[in-house]
Amino acid sequence: MITRKRLAAAVCGLLVTLTGGLTPAPAVADAEPAPAKEPPKVELVLDVSGSMRAKDIDGQSRMSAAKQAFNEVLDAVPDEVRLGIRTLGADYPGKDRETGCKDTRQLYPVGRLDRTEAKTAVATLAPTGWTPIGPALLGAAKDLEGGNATRRIVLITDGEDTCAPLDPCEVAREIAAKGIGLTIDTLGLVPNAKMRAQLMCIAEATGGTYTSIRHKDELSDRVGQLVDRAADPVATPAPAQGADSCANAPQLKTGLYSDRETFGQHRWYKVDLLPGQELRASVSVAADRPVNRDYGVMLRASTVHGREMVRGEAAGDGRTDVISTGLRYPKPDTDDSDSDSGDGDGKPAAETVCLRVSNSFSAPAGVKTAPGLPVELTIDVVDGPDEAADTAFFGLGRGWWFLAALILVGFAAGVLWGWLSRWRVTVWRTN
């Protein structure tokens, strides 16, 4: 006799059989080999100025605490990290400002780490001179030049820069404006308000972090974390210099890009899009210095002839470090754009999409507007919804065929279930 369980199993088997042929196998994209990435580079920049003699870190001098922390960090540096050490204020004990503001040198070159040699070099240091943070950052940036490695500067200091007008915050902005993917993290030993503000500004200019340090363990733990972070794989934006018109704009592909945009400026980029593809773009503008209230950012997509396709806008009022917006533009399979209908080889022509990034930031009196504000642009070109409809249950295009097939399968399963139920009742009555 046919039981309910057997009937249910039969119907489920029928549904699996019918729907199995309707569900397309996922396409496996050919994996392209990633470009070879060089080992990450890190330079530790240590303040060895006279103020490092102060004994206010767990009963030790700031210099002693820094040396012990360095020894612990050097023991734990990942093998793949290329590490160097630079000092500031370590050599000149005199009072001549011009000479004191040049007192920075590379103590240990950036490269594969010899732990014993690096520790020996650190052990020779003694608190000596001035605090030329700006020149030290410039020197560290030069030490890390070349190649495609990620770069990180970790600055450890117990005081603000003493070599103005070379403002270290402006130096950090200039380094960031070069688009070389260099991050500066700052650590302040027993900081006061003025020093904290300066170190925070340096870090914010390059997307780094600021940490206040009052104990030796905090120093070794934080420096170790930042060195380890350099070894972690991260998405590094590629530099892209926007133009003043779409005709002169750089051609972008899928990826992450960085640029600088002055206050109230428009910058143009362009992306090629084939019929059936979708452009997804987003932009973030960072306020790395004081700005006036009421500001905004706009990302606008248009044709090469100026016809707007879509735009994204965002506005702020007050203190906001980053403001972002984005857009999506699906190009239909039927090419009705301003571009040509083909390339002569029977292939669909790509449409050039012009992307314009605009901002309405303004600066208070006394705030420098150069270099411009950091801009990060994300571009993603994917198959549009028509291409993906084969796997969409309730999508557009061919997804409706899948829905219709499910309805037919359900109807057939219902008829079969009714017939089997009636047959089962007939057999039961007969017996």
- What is the rounded average pLDDT of the residues 347-354? 83
- Whose tokens are 């308000």? That residue is 193
DSSP 402-425: HHHHHHHHHHHHHHHHHHHHHHHH
Split at pLDDT 50, 70, 90, the class of 402 is: low
How many other CB atoms sit within 10 Å of the CB of residue 11?
16
The answer to which of 65-69, 115-119, 275-279, 394-398 has the lowest mean pLDDT is 394-398
Name which of 70, 131, 67, 138 is nearest 103 in CA terms. 131
Look over the chain and give the mean of its residue pLDDT values, rounded to a whole number. 82
Bridge pairing between strands 238-239 and 182-189 = unpaired
Q: What is the DSSP letter of 12?
A: H
49-104: pLDDT as tens digits:
999 999 999 999 999 999 999 999 999 999 999 999 999 999 999 999 999 999 99
For residue 135, the SS3 value is helix
Query: Residue 88: beta bridge partners?
Result: 47, 104
pLDDT of residue 113: 94
Query: Residue 373: beta bridge partners?
Result: 261
Burial class (CB in 10 A: 0-12, 13-18, 19+), 347: exposed
End-to-end CA distance of the chain: 10
Split at pLDDT 50, 70, 90, the class of 396 is: very low
CA separation for the pair 292, 307 (Å, rounded): 32
Q: What phi, psi does 144 have (nearest 5°)?
A: -95, 5
Split at pLDDT 50, 70, 90, the class of 258 is: confident
Contact by Cβ (8 Å): 338, 305:
yes
CA separation for the pair 303, 381 (Å, rounded): 16
pLDDT of residue 90: 94
Contact by Cβ (8 Å): 273, 266:
no
CA separation for the pair 280, 384 (Å, rounded): 10
222-248: pLDDT as tens digits:
999 899 888 875 666 788 899 999 999
Q: Which helix (H) or strand (E) holds 168?
A: helix 168-177
In Å, how far are 47, 120, 209, 282 from 42, measured between CA atoms? Answer: 16, 19, 15, 30
Domains of the chain: 41-231 (3.40.50.410), 238-389 (2.60.120.380)
